[in-house]
Amino acid sequence: MFTPRRFTFAAWLLACAAVSAQAQTTIADAESSAPAAGAALQGPALLNALRGGGYVVYFRHTATDFSRGDSAMTSYSDCANQRLLSPQGQSDATAIGQRIRALQLPVGEALASPYCRTMDHARRMLTTVTPRNEIREAQGNNYAGLKQLLATPVQAGTNRWIVGHGTPFRAVAGAPHLSEGEAAVIRPDTSGWTVVARIAVADWQSLGNAP
């Protein structure tokens, strides 16, 4: 007989399998990445939801140095030939991580696009991170893997943290475009996902305050 905890874990595994199977067919793109009417969370409700877990938090990397580009890069580890976080972007990523810990938000999976700027943001924010190719920009707008990460249920009591880019997220979630460092808080539901909040860099300091 399952204990409640074991049942929760088993149910999560079954839900993940269902999403994986569905991803082989299609997960529809969203029409808008603005918080959905009737589902939007703010203030204490948003903080309590994140503390309870079950959400995907997708970041566009923090501020970058646009005097640099990626055209000469030879590999994802070739940071000398990529656009990197600016000093402000480095500071912002560190500060967001400090707030995540201060607010006691649970961290489960920590994933990032393999580019240097996204890995740098993720490491400054969460320390340990796994690079995932599904999160980077894809040729032909083939973002089935990214959509699966957004739609797959999250294990109870944790959140899935993703650091990626603005273009892939807009391709699957719609406008408005994420600003550098902005995060979308997403509730996965196996057949897709619902954006319930967006958090700008400056909003982390007041997260949880009444709107």
* Domain boundary assignment for the chain: 4-206
DSSP state, residue 104:
T
- Tell me the average pLDDT of the chain: 89
* 142 Cβ contact list (under 8 Å, min separation 6): none
AA identity, residue 142: N
> Rounded mean pLDDT of 120-142?
91
Burial 23-56 (b: 16+ CB within 10 A, else e): beeebeebeebebeeeebbeeeebbebbeebbbb
pLDDT higher at 137 or 136? 136
Write the burial class of residue 127 (CB in 10 Å: 0-12 exposed, 13-18 middle, 19+ buried).
exposed
pLDDT greater than 50 at residue 7: no
Residue at 59: amino acid letter = F
- Whether the predicted pLDDT of 140 surpasses 70: no
Residue position matching structure tokens 């938000």: 105
Residues of the chain above pLDDT 70, percent: 87
Structure confidence at residue 8 (pLDDT)? 53
pLDDT of 198 strictly over 70:
yes
Per-residue pLDDT, 191: 81
CB proximity list for 57: less than 8 A, separation 6 or greater: 50, 159, 160, 161, 162, 183, 184, 185, 186
Gap between the Cα atoms of 57 and 132, Å rounded: 15
More confident of the two residues 30 and 53: 53
How far is residue 204's CA from residue 99's CA, in Å, rounded to a whole number? Answer: 7
Q: Is 125 helix (H, G, I), strand (E, B) or coil?
A: helix
For residue 143, the model assigns a pLDDT of 93
Pairing of strands 110-112, 160-164: parallel
Range among 2-6, 114-118, 139-143 rated most confident:
114-118
- 161-176 tens-digit pLDDT: 999 999 999 999 999 9
- Angstrom distance (rounded) from CA 3 to CA 24: 32
| pLDDT for 189 beyond 90 | no
Position 82 scores a pLDDT of 96
Do 159 and 50 contact (CB within 8 A), yes or no? yes
Give the helix ranges, DSSP H, for the chain: 4-23, 43-52, 87-102, 116-126, 144-151, 166-173
Quick: pLDDT tens for 65-105. Answer: 999 888 898 999 999 999 999 999 999 999 999 999 999 99
Instruction: Give residue 3's pLDDT band: very low, low, confident or very high (50, 70, 90).
Output: very low
**Predicted local distance difference test score (pLDDT) of residue 137:** 85
We find that the CATH architecture of domain 4-206 is 3-Layer(aba) Sandwich (3.40)
